[in-house]
Chains A and B, each alone.
Chain A
Amino acid sequence: MSDYSPSQALADAADARRTATAPRPTPRAAVWVGALGLAMVGGFLGAPKPLGILAPLGTFVLVFAGHLARRGLGVGRRFSGPVISADLVGLAAILGLSGYLVVSGWQGRFGPLHWVATVVLFLLIGVAGEVRRARLFRRDNTQLAHSQHLLTEQRR
């Protein structure tokens, strides 16, 4: 059995299991690029006509953000149970806000305020992403400290 002790093996197995199912903090770059993409879609679609053509660029930026977030959001793992992601709820809310900006822009109600709202939207999404990242990092560290404590206890 070599020098790989049963208690160490059990601890490793439990740790690996936790690792496989733990949500990951979205990479910081993905948070801000995603925020930019959503704001671009909302902002340019709602902009006066010549600029509206730039809206698809926002989609490309979003795709790039998705690429950056691939591992962070846990793509690459298919879970056994149903997983309700808080990200999806947040994304729905953000898309709703973007949609509101689009419609408002088309109706020409906002004028310069539309651009201010777009920048605010960008900052809002970015900051919300940062808050979520901080929360997940804190939880990861707590779990890590807990498993290290258990391992130390077992070794005693």
Chain B
Amino acid sequence: MTQPLFDEIIHAPQRLRICAMLAAVDEMEFGTLRDELGVADSVLSKHLKVLADAGYVLLVKPLGVGGKARTWARLTPAGTWALQGHLAELQRLIQAADTATALAATPAHGHPSG
């Protein structure tokens, strides 16, 4: 079972989207990721480096057609685990916030008047 665990590395908006996209496929090519996110090459490179340094993403560069190298990114088992834990923690936070809101709205928990 996935343990809810907040992950600062994954929580950055673009990195969260990168991880969520990679979780849905085996691997994704750099250019496709860049186009889907709508960011510049340098921005994507920076985020992928952070994820790769954390051991969450594996970057491979096989030689493509005509010897042209393309970068492919895939989520590692550690990355998959971290993403699932982070998403579980987000859900837990939302539930906790909902519960707190519901309790605050209940009259029984208000201060007695008079």
Contact = CB atoms under 8 A, between A and B. Distances in A.
Interface of A: 1, 4, 6-7, 9-10, 12-17, 19-21, 71, 76-80
A80 B26 contact: yes
Contacts of B94: 6-7, 10
A6 B26 contact: no
Contact of B25 (A10, A15, A79): A79
Contact of B16 (A12, A79, A80): A12
Contacts, number: 75
B35 A20 contact: no
B20 A16 contact: yes
Given A4-B13, A20-B36, A77 B93 contact: no
B24 A20 contact: yes
Interface residues of B, number: 29
A15 to B, nearest CB: 8
Contact of B29 (A10, A16, A76): A76
Give the dominant DSSP class at A's interface: helix
Contacts of A14: 20
B21 interface: yes
Contacts of B20: 12-14, 16-17, 20
A53 to B, nearest CB: 26
Contacts of B19: 13
B26 A79 contact: yes
A20 B21 contact: yes
B16 A21 contact: no
B11 interface: yes
A76 B16 contact: no
B28 interface: yes
